[in-house]
C-alpha cells in the first residue's frame, strides 16, 4: 500500500542489497522519504524505484562508507536535496570467511574500515547537524557477534565488538549533555541475506548463516522500530539472547561448543567456487535484491523481539497475574 509523502527523512548505509534494502522498503512503507548510500550504482537505482513505488521520495548517493570525506559529502548532498535528516541507520558491512592464520593484514583493515569505521564516519557526518537541531535518531546495526566472537569471522566479530564500544561511549556523552538525540543498537541473529553469496571466503564449502536463520524483513522491522523509540538496545531472535547470555554465564563452554561445531556450522555441503566475485574491495555487479538462498530454513517472525518491544506491558501483565494468584491463595487459605 502506498503512503502519503511525509517530511521525515531516513538515511541508510549499505542499502543496495540484503538487510539495508529491506530497511529501505520498511521505512518507505511507513511513509518516510528514504536516501540510500552504497557502492553498487545499478542496485542503488533499483532501490530508489522501490522506495518511490510506496509513494515516498527516494534518493541515492554512490559512496564507500570507508571514505569518511565521501560519506560526509553524501550526507551534505542528501540534506541539500531532501532536507534535514531525521534518522541514520549505520548498516554497511563486509566480511571475510577465513581462519585467522590465512588472513592478510589488508583484509583486516578493509573489514574494520567498512564494518566498524563506516558506522563511526556515518555518525560523525550527521551528529553535528543533529546536535545543532537537538533532535534526530541514529541506529547502530549490531550482532550477537558483538558479544561473542566465533571462528572463521574474526575480522567481522572484532569490528562489531568495536561498534558496541563506540556506541556505549557516545550514548554516555549524549546522556551527560541531556541531548534529545536518540541512539539505539539492534543486535541481530543469522539472517538470510545476500552477503553469503558476496563475502570473500577461503572455506572449502559455501558459507551459510550459523544457527537459527531469520528473514531480513524481521530485522528491518526491528531497526525501524528502534529508530522511533528511545531504547538503549533491542535483541532480535532467541538465538541472539542465547548467545549473549551463554557467553556471559559460561564463556568457556561456548569456546568448547564453537570449537566442535563452529567450523562445520558455517558451511553448506556444496563446494565453494574459488573464482566467484566477492564484495570486499568492489561491489559484485548486478542487482541482487534482499534475500539469500536460505529462505526455506528462515523464520519470518521473532517472538523474542515481539516481547522485547512490549516488555513493560508484558511485565505489568505478569505482575497482575501473580497478584491475582497470590490473592486467590490467601482468600482460599
pLDDT, residue 245, reads 94
Here the cell at position 179 is: 541531548
Q: Please determine, for residue 273, whether its predicted confidence score (pLDDT) is greater than 90.
A: yes
CB 198 within 8 A of CB 3: no
pLDDT, residue 56, reads 96
pLDDT range class, residue 313, cuts 50, 70, 90:
confident
Distance between CA atoms of residues 108 and 113, nearest Å: 8
Find the mean pLDDT for residues 225-241: 94
Find the mean pLDDT for residues 314-323: 78
Give the tens place of pLDDT for each residue, 256-272: 999 999 999 999 999 99
pLDDT range class, residue 333, cuts 50, 70, 90:
low
Q: Identify whether 156 is a catalytic site residue.
A: yes
pLDDT, residue 71, reads 98
pLDDT, residue 294, reads 93
Residue 208 lies in a domain: yes
Distance between CA atoms of residues 9 and 135, nearest Å: 13
Q: Work out the percent of the chain whose per-residue pLDDT is above 70.
A: 98
Q: How far is CA 171 from CA 127, 137, 185, in A?
A: 12, 12, 10
Q: Please determine, for residue 5, whether its predicted confidence score (pLDDT) is greater than 60.
A: no
pLDDT range class, residue 2, cuts 50, 70, 90:
low
Residue 79 makes CB contacts below 8 A (sequence gap 6+) with 85, 129
pLDDT, residue 230, reads 87
Here the cell at position 312 is: 513493560
Q: Which position has the grid cell 530454513? A: 297
Give the tens place of pLDDT for each residue, 52-100: 999 999 999 999 999 999 999 999 999 999 999 999 999 999 999 999 9
Domain that holds residue 176: 9-301
Q: Work out the percent of the chain whose per-residue pLDDT is above 90.
A: 87
Q: SS3 sequence, 104-169? A: CHHHHHHHHHHHHHHHHHHHHHHHHHHHHHCCCEEEEECCHHHCCCCCCCHHHHHHHHHHHHHHHH
Here the cell at position 2 is: 502506498
Residue 297 lies in a domain: yes
pLDDT, residue 122, reads 98
State the total domains in the chain: 1
Q: Which of 23-27, 134-138, 202-206, 313-317 has the lowest mean pLDDT?
A: 313-317
Q: Please determine, for residue 234, whether its predicted confidence score (pLDDT) is greater than 90.
A: yes
Residue 309 lies in a domain: no
Within a 13 Å sphere around the CA of 297, how many CA atoms are in the beta-carbon half? 14
Give the CATH number of the domain where residue 168 resides: 3.40.50.720
Give the tens place of pLDDT for each residue, 163-203: 999 999 999 999 999 999 999 999 999 999 999 999 999 99
Residue 331 lies in a domain: no
pLDDT range class, residue 325, cuts 50, 70, 90:
confident
Q: How far is CA 35 from CA 2, 81, 121, 331, in A?
A: 17, 10, 17, 61
pLDDT, residue 292, reads 94
Q: What is the mean pLDDT of the chain?
A: 94
Say what the pTM is: 0.91
Residue 184 makes CB contacts below 8 A (sequence gap 6+) with 137, 138, 139, 140, 226, 227, 229, 230, 231, 232, 233, 234
Find the mean pLDDT for residues 33-43: 98
Q: What residue spans of the chain are helical by DSSP H? A: 18-29, 41-53, 68-81, 105-111, 117-133, 154-176, 195-198, 216-228, 238-249, 251-261, 303-308, 311-332
pLDDT, residue 271, reads 96
Residue 311 lies in a domain: no
Residue 47 lies in a domain: yes
pLDDT, residue 324, reads 82
Residue 184 lies in a domain: yes
Distance between CA atoms of residues 139 and 225, nearest Å: 10
Residue 327 lies in a domain: no
Handedness of CA 121, 198, 19, 300 (dihedral sign): negative
Active-site residue (options: 54, 156, 214, 234):
156
Q: Please determine, for residue 1, whether its predicted confidence score (pLDDT) is greater than 60.
A: no
Amino acid at each position: 500500500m502506498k503512503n502519503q509523502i511525509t517530511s521525515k527523512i531516513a538515511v541508510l548505509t549499505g542499502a543496495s542489497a540484503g538487510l539495508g534494502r529491506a530497511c529501505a522498503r520498511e521505512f518507505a512503507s511507513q511513509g518516510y522519504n528514504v536516501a540510500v548510500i552504497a557502492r553498487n550504482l545499478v542496485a542503488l537505482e533499483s532501490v530508489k524505484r522501490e522506495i518511490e513505488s510506496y509513494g515516498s521520495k527516494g534518493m541515492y548517493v554512490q559512496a564507500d562508507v570507508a571514505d569518511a570525506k565521501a560519506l560526509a559529502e553524501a550526507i551534505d548532498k542528501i540534506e541539500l536535496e531532501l532536507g534535514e535528516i531525521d534518522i541514520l541507520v549505520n548498516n554497511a558491512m563486509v566480511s571475510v570467511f577465513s581462519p585467522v592464520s590465512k588472513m592478510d593484514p589488508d583484509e583486516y583493515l578493509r573489514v574494520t574500515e567498512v564494518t566498524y569505521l563506516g558506522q563511526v564516519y556515518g555518525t560523525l557526518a550527521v551528529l553535528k547537524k543533529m546536535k545543532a537541531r537537538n533532535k534526530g535518531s541514529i541506529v547502530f546495526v549490531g550482532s550477537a557477534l558483538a558479544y561473542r566472537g566465533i571462528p572463521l569471522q574474526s575480522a567481522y566479530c572484532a569490528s562489531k565488538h568495536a561498534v558496541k564500544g563506540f556506541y556505549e561511549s557516545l550514548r554516555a556523552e549524549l546522556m551527560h549533555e541531556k541531548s534529545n538525540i536518540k541512539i539505539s543498537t539492534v543486535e541481530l541473529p543469522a539472517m538470510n541475506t545476500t552477503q553469503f553469496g558476496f563475502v570473500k571466503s577461503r572455506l572449502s564449502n559455501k558459507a551459510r548463516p550459523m544457527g537459527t536463520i531469520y528473514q531480513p524483513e524481521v530485522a528491518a522491522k526491528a531497526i525501524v522500530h528502534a529508530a522511533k523509540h528511545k531504547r538503549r538496545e533491542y535483541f532480535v531472535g532467541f538465538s541472539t539472547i542465547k548467545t549473549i547470555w551463554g557467553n556471559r554465564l559460561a564463556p568457556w563452554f561456548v569456546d568448547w561448543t564453537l570449537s566442535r561445531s563452529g567450523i562445520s556450522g558455517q558451511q553448506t555441503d556444496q563446494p565453494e567456487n574459488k573464482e566467484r566475485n566477492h564484495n570486499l574491495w568492489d561491489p559484485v555487479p548486478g542487482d541482487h535484491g534482499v534475500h539469500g538462498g536460505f529462505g526455506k530454513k528462515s523464520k519470518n517472525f521473532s517472538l523474542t523481539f515481539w516481547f522485547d518491544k512490549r516488555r513493560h506491558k508484558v511485565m505489568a501483565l505478569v505482575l497482575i497475574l501473580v497478584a491475582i494468584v497470590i490473592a486467590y491463595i490467601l482468600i482460599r487459605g
